[in-house]
């Protein structure tokens, strides 16, 4: 795995927020669903990072003990997305996670690449955007299978603000950060969750995708300012 670090300025429109997805003409997820809360009785965490203890509140981020993560239950287990994010970053390197949580680093952006589906973990200030996406070059579009936006509290708690699926955007990162997603019809239409439980379920699906995909083993490009 190769990690590239670029300390040059990021080309991001910081005046926009990743939580401002345009919901016009896009269906929202109907009804209630099972909660996406993390079940600490069946998940093991580590104390490998001093400021993210295993005993922290459920709203905080924890390092998942991958050695104790049962393979047979990966698809059924409910995960917290913030746990998947920090677990991914620490498995890239300890320095990578330190940079992500460092308040003196205003913007942190990590892209994990495969030939098909890619992962983006992006923090600006106290806001975090995460999504898995494909670059449809013939359509000149990014298609995000799952996206989520968080706000991190000063006490370390993570607050899920928005989730969506099958969201398309221009292949421009300022547009992605600004939440300029749109529907492109077809069988799988763009869906935006607006209820807490549905957002938690979408976030849990994305968390399972990230952990089972072991994105930290892929080529990683990191930019910080």
Question: Tokens 């009804």 — which residue?
Answer: 31
**Size of the chain in residues:** 225
**pLDDT for the residue numbered 215:** 96
Give SS3 for 172: coil
- Residues 82, 37: Cα–Cα separation, whole Å: 11
Distance of CA 156 to the CA centre of its chain: 16
Domains held by the chain: number: 1
Q: Which domain holds residue 13?
A: 3-224
Asked if the model's pLDDT at residue 50 lies above 80, the reply is yes
Sign of the Cα torsion 131, 92, 71, 49 reads: negative
Question: In this predicted model, what pLDDT tens digit does every residue of 143-201 receive, in sequence order?
Answer: 999 999 999 999 999 999 999 999 999 999 999 999 999 998 776 889 999 899 999 99
Structure-block tokens of residue 93: 């390197």
Give SS3 for 14: coil
Task: Compute the average pLDDT of residues 7-33.
Answer: 44
Asked if the model's pLDDT at residue 87 lies above 60, the reply is yes
Strand-pairing partners, residue 109, are 122, 223
Cβ-contact 129, 177 below 8 angstroms: yes
Q: Say which DSSP state 28 is in.
A: B
Q: What is the pTM of this model?
A: 0.82
The phi, psi pair for 90, rounded to 5°, reads -70, -25
Q: How confident is the model at residue 26 (pLDDT cuts 50, 70, 90)?
A: low
Asked if the model's pLDDT at residue 91 lies above 90, the reply is yes
Asked if the model's pLDDT at residue 137 lies above 60, the reply is yes
Q: Say how many C-beta atoms besides its own lie within 10 A of residue 116's C-beta.
A: 7
């Amino acid at each position: 795995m190769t990690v590239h670090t670029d300390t040059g300025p990021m080309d991001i429109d910081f005046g926009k927020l990743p939580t401002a997805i345009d919901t016009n003409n896009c269906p929202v997820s109907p009804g209630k669903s099972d909660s996406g809360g993390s079940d600490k009785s069946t998940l093991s965490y580590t104390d490998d990072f001093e400021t993210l203890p295993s005993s922290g509140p459920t709203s905080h981020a924890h390092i998942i003990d991958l050695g104790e993560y049962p393979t047979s239950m990966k698809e059924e287990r409910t995960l917290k997305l913030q746990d998947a994010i920090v677990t991914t970053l620490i498995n890239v390197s300890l320095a990578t996670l330190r940079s992500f949580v460092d308040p003196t680093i205003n913007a942190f952006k990590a892209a994990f690449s495969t030939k098909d589906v890619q992962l983006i973990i992006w923090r600006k200030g106290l806001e975090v955007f995460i999504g898995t996406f494909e670059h449809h070059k013939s359509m000149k579009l990014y298609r995000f299978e799952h996206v989520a936006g968080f706000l991190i509290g000063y006490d370390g708690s993570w607050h899920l603000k928005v989730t969506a699926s099958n969201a398309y955007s221009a292949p421009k990162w300022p547009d992605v950060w600004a939440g300029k997603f749109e529907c492109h019809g077809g069988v799988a239409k763009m869906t935006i969750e607006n209820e807490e439980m549905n957002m938690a379920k979408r976030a849990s699906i994305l968390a399972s995708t990230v952990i089972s995909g072991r994105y930290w083993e892929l080529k990683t490009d990191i930019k910080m300012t």
